[in-house]
C-alpha cells in the first residue's frame, strides 16, 4: 500500500499491477507487458531475485528494482548482475522518482 501511494504521487496515470508472490507475478507477466518491476526481496516461497531473473528473461528492457531493508553486499551484487537497481527500504517518493528518472519512464508507463 505504501509503494502504491508513492507511485500514484509520482504519476497518477501509472497502471499498477500487484502480486503477492512470485507465482502471481508470473501470471501477471503472462497477461500483460510491463515496463517497470519493483520486486521485494523478501517474498513468500522464493526471494525476489529469483523472480527478477524470470522478469529479466522475459524482457531485457524492463527496468527492475529490488526493494529490501537488507542491503547486504551479496544481495546488492546479485541485483546488479541482473541489471537491476537496488532500492533500500524504507522507500521514499524521492527514491522512487530518482529510479523512474534514471530509467526514463516517468510518463505513460506501467509499474
10-residue stretch averages of pLDDT, the chain, 111 residues long: 89 89 89 88 92 92 94 95 96 93 59 45
The SS3 of residue 33 is coil
Q: Measure the CA–CA gap between 20 and 68, rounded to whole angstroms.
A: 15
From the centroid of its chain, how far is CA 32? 15
Which has the closest alpha carbon to 40: 4, 93, 73? Answer: 4
CA separation (Å) from 82 to 20, 34, 42, 59? 21, 17, 17, 12
The reported pTM is 0.87
Q: What integer pLDDT is reported at residue 110 of this predicted model?
A: 43
CA distance 49 to 69: 14
* Predicted pLDDT at 29: 85
pLDDT value, residue 107? 38
Q: With contact defined as beta carbons under 8 Å apart, do 87 and 99 qualify?
A: yes
The residue ranges of DSSP E strands in 1-111, in sequence order, are 36-40, 63-68, 85-88
pLDDT at residue 2 in the model = 87
Domains of the chain: 2-103 (3.40.50.2300)
The radius of gyration of the chain from alpha carbons, rounded to an integer in Å, stands at 13
pLDDT on residue 11: 85
| Per-residue pLDDT at 105 | 55
Amino acid at each position: 500500500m505504501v509503494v502504491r501511494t508513492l507511485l500514484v504521487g509520482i504519476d497518477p496515470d501509472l497502471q499498477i499491477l500487484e502480486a503477492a508472490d512470485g507465482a502471481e507475478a508470473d501470471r501477471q507477466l503472462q497477461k500483460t507487458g510491463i515496463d517497470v518491476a519493483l520486486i521485494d526481496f523478501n517474498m513468500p516461497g522464493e526471494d525476489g531475485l529469483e523472480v527478477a531473473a524470470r522478469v529479466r528473461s522475459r524482457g531485457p528492457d524492463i527496468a527492475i528494482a529490488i526493494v529490501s531493508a537488507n542491503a547486504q553486499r551479496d544481495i546488492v551484487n546479485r541485483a546488479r548482475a541482473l541489471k537491476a537497481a537496488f532500492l533500500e527500504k524504507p522507500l521514499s517518493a524521492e527514491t522512487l522518482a530518482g529510479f523512474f528518472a534514471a530509467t526514463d519512464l516517468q510518463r505513460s508507463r506501467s509499474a
